[in-house]
Every structure is written in structure tokens, then in C-alpha cells.
Amino acid sequence: MVKFPLSRVLVLASFTSNSIAGTVSLPSYPLAVKSPYLSTWVPGNQTADAATAQPEFWAGQKLTWPILARVGGTTYSLFSLPGGISGVSAAKTTGVEYTSTHTVISLIAGPVTVTLDFFSPVLPGPLDYAKQSLPYSYLTVSAIADEFTSIQILSGIDHTWTAQGGASALNYTESGSAGFFWFYNPDQYYYSEDNDMATYGSILYGASTGNGLTYACDTEDNIYSAFTSDGKLANIATCQGTDLAALSQDLGTVILGEVTFAVGFQRDLAINYLNEAQTGYHRSKWWLIPDAIEYFLGDYASALAESVLFDTAVRVRSEAVSLEWGSQYADIVEASVRQTYGAFEITVPNDDVGAEPQVFLKEISSDGNVQTIDVIFQSWSIFASLNPEWLKLLLKPVLSYLETGAWPHAWVIHDIGTHYPNATGHANGVAEEMPLFETSTVFILLYAYQHYTNDASFAAEYTTLLTRYANYLAENSLYPASQLISVDAIAAQPNQTGLAIQSAIGLKAASIVLDNSSYSDIAASIAKTVYEDALGLDGATLAESTHFTYYYGQDDTWNVLFPAYSDVLLGLETFNPSAWDLQSSWYQQQMQEGGLPFAGPVTDTSYTGSGITWGLADWNLLIAAVVSEEVQAQIINTTHTFLTNRLNTIPFGTKYYVEGDEIGVWGYWGFAY
């Protein structure tokens, strides 16, 4: 008999409380999301019938992940059997809930209530880096019956998770208390992708060994036939790479029972950093794959208990922001946590696993750049809340590369690799150029780390390098040359007010990081010219103005000034708070039915960046922190509507239409990673 551990009872109880679990409909639900390559989702429009739902990689490739239950001799499909199986009934889906780390699907299979708990741990704390870096995720299938009932559970995966077209060898292995299938291609080509899926590394699918666990890799027909007939598998350990690798657990004749599976995608050579291999930080503790998956499975009860505390804290803290819209904001935050951390990998040098870790980022859904500075900037608020040391771990690979002198320009690089996982730099000087934005952003991020940790030593390691960059800002910020801001969907143009604002805030941060007041003086001068002297306003004077312009002298233009968030949150006060009050009033007037556009005028296409009908959820959420309560409510509510409107089927997107015939529809450009 398999019983529920106490921690499992606690987490099941937590899902009954609306203060813990979100019950709104998501466009796509995270299932196993632990890295850019272990990123499995199910579109929200398929969850009403989980038995036929089709899980996907984040980019849309279909993945095989069947789950079945045999109850009193009758077999039910629970998940991922879109074509069905002859003689197998589909369980009835009764609900879907999610927290920051769990997605739970509830079903009825005959006389038994079944829950599928897809659990990807998020452990951002400094003592948990090794555990956070484990590229594994849990699936727990739990069954509750009114009376003692014979129950067996089957689940498996196949080669669709590998992007190697069946080229991987496939075998079953036992190590200690873990039994698992292992997909591995000895002829793999390292650091390669196919449509964003890694084409190298090991896919693992396992469970704890013990009474009642059987296994087989075979054709789907043979696997399903054996399970439906006998409730167990034939213990076939080796087969073709295209076969289904399945595990079956006999829970016994029980009222309560469960089985936990682990799925993982481990790449021992994880990142090519300047032509030296980086490996997952977890290998400093669990060097071999069998050790890693055995630990992961054995740590389930502890990880589950930690997740209850973490999820509760995220929900409660988010709801506490507002009595009016705190619940909606909490839904947004919970939907974002796994998606955010799923873009990062914690690594160490493969030949020195005792070294200090670094964190690498993939710019998911756009061009796959490595360590994109403005993407780090988009996500830094979650690190400020959960563990600001991540800012240091993300910046270290960038600053270490820049210090080599291989980057030939006077400004900070946009990224350190054209496509993940190759962080090989741009020694030829060819990369997307955002000179002022990326340079100012590095100083804001460095100061954010210093502000929250009181650690000035990290920036001090790069004083000479950073001084050069601060001087670049000082010389080029007031009248920006033609260049991109972070929103590179809008063409480069000179004299962008937002770039001058971002640069001034960056200079103020640089003055503290480098302990040089001259940069603060220059920042104050820029702020005075742009705001108080109205260079960046729509009127001849501050008193005559209603808003900041997108471009100097083009009075009808405007855009969302997300740099304000850093200035306010970090207490830099580069600009008088009245500047942000002015802009807040303007936002309220520009609000559309679906939300706040990124720039305008929406109805006039004569200006670059105008005539657009889309907003950006990420930047809108940042400026919500520095606007009036009324505008805050509008931003949160419209973003929540976009998240939950059932018009989209991708992971939480950033760009979406706020007016016109496609209000609330995701507009291709980027997911919120």
C-alpha cells in the first residue's frame, strides 16, 4: 500500500484555499519548466479535457507524455492521449489550479478522484543553488477512493523530448532507490539546437524503485496493451530510440495512494562560455546523472514542503499590494515565476566545480541571445524580491568578458552570444547595438545589487572598466545619437527622451557604484534640462507641458517610461517625483480598451514608434509601481484580462494588442521570459 506523506496532505489542502492557488485560466500552463530546454507546457484551451490534451515544448513542438490509471481493472486516460486508446475511457477533468511552482489537474476516473501535480521547484536562495540547478521536474499522480480499490498508474515519454529524431539510445537503469529510462546519443553534437530544442544531452524519466514498480520501453501499442490487461509492464530495459519509455506503479488496493515521477534534461556540457565548458552547478554535489536523479526523487517530500511555504509567501505578499486588485496581481505573479526561472541556468566551470557559480540567461522566443542585458533588466525586480545575489551571478559573465577587451566598442555589449548555449562573445564588434540603454542598465543593475546586499566589492573588481563606461554615458546621454532602446521593434532614431532619462538614472547609479559625485552632477544636469527646462516635454516650459515626448521636439509623441521604476524603487531620485506624476496623468488619458499602448500617438503614423496598437505587459507592470492608484488598477486589470482571456495558447506573452479587432491577442515578438 502506498500512502500519502504528511507533506503531500498539506499541499493538497493548500490547493483548496483561494489565498494560495490561482484558479483563473492561463493561456498555457507550465508542467515541467526548469531550463530553456526542459520547458513543457499545455495550452490552456486543452485543459478542459486533460485526457486528450497535447503537451508542448515552449516553442510549440508536440511532446509525448501519457498518463493512465487502471482502476479496478478498468483503464482511464488521464493526460496526453489526444488520439485515445481503444478500450480506454477518458477521465473527466474537474479543474485546473496553479501556484508559483505547481500546476494541478483534477480528474474523475470511475470511482476514484485523481490529481496530477506538475511541480517544478523554484529555490532562489543562496543555500539552494545546487538544488535549483537540478534540471528536473516532478509529476505526482495521486488517487483517492471512497473504498479500498485496486489502482495502478502508468506514465512515460519518448524521443520527442530530445529533438534527435529517434537517434538516442534508450535503456532502463537502476541506481540506489531510483529506476529511470535514459535517452542518450553517443554521436551528439554539443552546444547545438533544432528550433530552440537542445539536440544533445540526456533525457531522464524515473521513479523510486520498490514494490509494484515495473517498466518497459516498447511500441505504444504493446505498452498500453500490457498495462490495460495486467496493470504492469514486462520490464524491458533496452529498445529502439523511437519507442515509448514507460513506468508503471501498482499502488495496491487502497483508499489513498500516489506515485511520483521525475523528468529531467541534463546537459553535462551546459554552456560554451568563451570556448570553455560550463556545467550545471548541481554537479558540484551530484557529479553523475544517476546520483542526481536519485537525490532528486529522494528529496521530494522536502521540496514539496518548501514549495508550500514559497508559494504561500508569493501569493500572500502579492495580494497584500492592494485590497482592490491584489488578487489579480497575485495571479499574474504566480503565472510568471516558473516562466522566469525557466530561462536561467546556474553553472560552474566543468573543470572546476568548486568555483563560484554564474547564471546564464537565454533570450527565449526572440533570437536566443545569451545574457541579453535589457532582458536581465526586465526581470531584475523578481531578484530584488527573492534574492538580489542573482544580479551579481548574471552580470559576472558579462563583465568578465568585457574586461578581456575582446569587445571593441566604448559601450556595454547587448549580449555575449548570438545563440544559446554559445556564450562566445562578439570579438568582431557585430551585435545588436543599444549603446546608451545597455550601458546605463549595467550601472542600474550593479547599484540594485549593492543597494539590496550592501556589497560594494563586486563592482569594485571592475572599477577601471566601469569608469570607461560611465564616461561614455557622461559624454553621450543628453542628445542620444540614433540608436535602439530596449523595444527594438521600433526603429532606431536620434534624440529619444527615454534614452536620455535612462542614461541619467544610470549615471546617478554610477556615481554611487564608483563613488564619484561628478557623475551625479551630470545626471542632475541632464534631468534638469530634459524635465525642468522642458527639452523632453511637449510644451515650451514645464508649466505648459502635459507629458514627456518620445523624441525631442516632436510634441505629440510619447512612450511608456519604464526607467522611472528604477529611479523610484532604488531611491535614486534623479528626477523630481513630479515628473512621474506628470507622466502618470498622461498615461491615464492614453489608456485604451485593452490596456496602455507602449507609445503614441496611436492614431498618427507620421512618427516612428507611433500608430502602434500594442502594449508591452512587462514594461507596463514596471511603470505600474510609479503611477497613480487609478492607473495602477487599470494596468493590473487589463494585464490580468490579457493573461486570462482564453484568446491565446502560448506561455504568458509580453506584446499584445490593446485596441482594434484583435484586442487581447498576443502579437508575435516575445514571451515574458
Helix or strand (DSSP H, E) at 108: strand 102-109
Residue matched to cell numbers 514494490: 211
Most distant pair of Cα atoms in the chain: their distance: 83
Q: What confidence score (pLDDT) does residue 27 get?
A: 98
Burial 59-90 (b: 16+ CB within 10 A, else e): eeeebbbbbbbbbeeebbbbbbbeeebeebeb
Spell out the domain ranges in the chain.
Answer: 6-309, 362-657
DSSP label at residue 140: E
Pairing of strands 422-423, 271-273: parallel
Say which residues have a Cβ less than 8 Å from residue 508's Cβ, sequence separation at least 6.
519, 520, 523, 524, 567, 572, 574
Question: What is the predicted pLDDT for the residue at 17?
Answer: 42
Give residue-wise pLDDT tens across range 33-60.
Answer: 999 999 999 999 999 999 999 999 999 9
Q: What is the pLDDT of residue 119?
A: 99
Contact 647, 594 (CB under 8 A): no
Q: How far is CA 53 from CA 78, 82, 138, 204, in A?
A: 9, 6, 19, 22
Q: How many residues does the chain have?
A: 673
For 580-606, what is each residue's pLDDT tens digit?
A: 999 999 999 999 999 999 999 977 777
CB 415 within 8 A of CB 363: yes
Task: Report residue 563 as a C-alpha cell.
Answer: 526607467
Residue 241 has a pLDDT of 86
> What pLDDT score does 184 carry?
93
What was the pLDDT predicted at 452? 98
What beta strand segments (E) does 499-651 contain?
A: 558-559, 599-600, 614-616
CB atoms within 10 A of CB 117: 22
Residues 6+ apart with CB under 8 A from 518: 474, 511
| Distant-in-sequence, close-in-space partners of 175: CB < 8 Å, separation ≥ 6 | 290, 291, 293, 294
Kindly list the distances between the CA atom of residue 362 and the CA atoms of 370, 421, 439, 445, in Å, as whole numbers in the listed order: 5, 8, 20, 18
520-546 burial, b for 16+ CB within 10 Å, e for fewer? bebbbbbbebbbeebbbbbeeeeeebe
- Parallel, antiparallel, or unpaired for β 92-98 and 102-109? antiparallel
Range 587-592 contact pairs with CB under 8 angstroms and sequence separation of 24 or more? 587/560, 587/623, 587/627, 587/631, 588/628, 588/630, 588/631, 588/634, 590/558, 591/631, 591/634, 591/638, 592/658, 592/659
> CATH number of the domain at 6-309, please?
2.70.98
Question: Whose CA is closest to 503, among 528, 479, 477?
Answer: 477
CA–CA dist 196, 37 (Å, integer): 8
Residues 292, 294: Cα–Cα separation, whole Å = 5
pLDDT at 73: 97
Task: Give residue 408's region: left, alpha or beta (phi > 0; psi -120 to 50).
Answer: alpha
CATH numeric code, 362-657: 1.50.10.10
What CA–CA distance (Å, rounded) separates 71 from 150? 6
Specify whether the CB–CB gap between 98 and 104 falls below 8 A: yes
Nine cell digits for residue 276: 570553455
* Structure confidence at residue 7 (pLDDT): 38
Q: Flag residues of the chain having pLDDT under 50.
A: 1-19, 669-673
